Amino acid sequence: MVSISKIEQGAKRYVDNHFIPSLPDGGFQKVLVATGAAILVNRMSDMLKHWAHNDTLRMLGVVDHDGNFDLDVIKTEMMKHMGDAGMPLEIPMVGTLTFKREDIERLYRCIVEG
Q: Where are the domains of the chain?
A: 4-112
- What type of residue sits at position 97? L
Instruction: Give the mean model confidence (pLDDT) for residues 33-59.
Output: 90
Comparing CA positions, the residue from 29, 11, 40, 39 lying closest to residue 93 is 29
Compute the distance between CA of residue 33 and CA of residue 29 in angstroms, rounded to an integer. Answer: 6
Instruction: Give the mean model confidence (pLDDT) for residues 45-69.
Output: 93
Q: What is the pTM of this model?
A: 0.83
pLDDT at 36 over 90: no
**pLDDT category, 76, cuts 50, 70, 90?**
very high
pLDDT number for residue 30: 81
pLDDT at 111 over 90: yes
Comparing CA positions, the residue from 112, 48, 41, 108 lying closest to residue 75 is 108
CA atoms within 13 A on the CB side of 100: 4
pLDDT at 57 over 70: yes
In the structure, how many helices (H) and strands (E) does the chain have?
A: 7, 2
pLDDT at 25 over 90: no
pLDDT at 89 over 90: no
Compute the distance between CA of residue 36 and CA of residue 25 in angstroms, rounded to an integer. Answer: 16
Instruction: Give the mean model confidence (pLDDT) for residues 21-43.
Output: 83
pLDDT at 108 over 90: yes
List % helix, strand, coil for the chain (3-state, nearest 5).
Answer: 60, 10, 25
